Amino acid sequence: MTDSWTDRLSEYVDGELDPRTHAALEAHLATCASCRATRDELERVVARARGIGYREPATDLWGGIETSITGNAPRSGRRLVTLSWARLATAAAIVAILAGGFAWTLASRRAVVVVTVPSSPDTTATGVRTPALPATGMAVASYRDAAADLERAFEAGRTTLRPETMRVIEENLRAIDLAIAQTDSALRRDPGSAYLNQYLAATMQRKLKLLRRAVEITTARS
């Protein structure tokens, strides 16, 4: 059972009501058994939450952290500012590396980035587990140009596809574009996050794979 005072009970429990409202609610509590019971339960919830402890992780995570930081001394005072384009280029580089390198890397030579991948196959700069990467430096072109090239090829051949195939491809592309936009938005707030960069790269890779597959289908049908 609830009444108009029920929604104020958490504020009462937390001592956040102004004195006048606090006094009025106290007067109500004196006459309302239901609200008194709810107040008691809310107090027990708060007490229970405050008693919740902290637990060590089941596995020791230090090894991965140590691998990531060894040889990388803490940065000096000035905070690094990562520009959006730099992020994108880095992500594109990771895309190409994850993809193993494709012909599209030759399509644009305007924004070539050279990336040296750590030799350890199981960890990245954050210690987050990722698929094994080739341990060589690799030159790659920008993701945007590659995606644009593939999109143009796809558009040119789209009339060869059945409507249901088109619908599936377009729905997937929209979902991937949304994921890219949301991840990029998160990166604007947290530009140094290797995790977000990696996720962005992986999502871009998904888009390129999907586009490549779509182009292959249109080519086979033409």
Partner 1 sequence: MGRPRVTVSDAGSVERSSSSEGEAAGDDASDVAAAAAGDVRAFERVYRRHVARIHSTAVRMLGAEEADDATQDVFVRAWQRLAQFRGESAFGTWLFRLAVNVMLSRREVVAIRHKRHVDDAALVESLSSAEASPELGLDFQAAIARLPPGMRQIFVLHDIEGYKHDEIAGMLGIAQGTSKSQLHRVRMILRRYLGA
The angle, 0 to 180 degrees and rounded to 10, between the axes of the packed helices 143-157 and 194-221 is: 30
Phi-psi region of 101 (alpha: psi -120 to 50; beta: other; left: phi over 0): left
How, if at all, do strands 113-115 and 138-140 pair? antiparallel
**What residues from 178 to 197 belong to the interface with partner 1 (CB under 8 A)?**
178-179, 182-183, 185-186, 189-190, 192-196
Contacting residue, 20, 48, 81, 83, with partner 1 by CB under 8 A: 48
- Between CA 173 and CA 130 the distance in angstroms is 24
Contacting residue, 1, 15, 30, 51, with partner 1 by CB under 8 A: 51
Q: How far is the CB of 67 from partner 1 (least distance, A)?
A: 10
Residue 163 φ/ψ, nearest 5 degrees: -55, -40
Q: How far is the CB of 118 from partner 1 (least distance, A)?
A: 13
**What residues from 110 to 149 belong to the interface with partner 1 (CB under 8 A)?**
125-129
Is residue 54 a contact residue for partner 1 (CB under 8 A)?
yes
Find out whether 150 and 104 touch, Cβ atoms under 8 Å.
Answer: yes
- Between CA 127 and CA 104 the distance in angstroms is 30
Is residue 70 a contact residue for partner 1 (CB under 8 A)?
yes
- The residues that touch partner 1, with contacts defined as CB under 8 A, are 7, 9-11, 16, 38, 41-42, 44-46, 48-57, 59, 61-62, 64-66, 68-70, 72-77, 79, 125-129, 178-179, 182-183, 185-186, 189-190, 192-196, 199
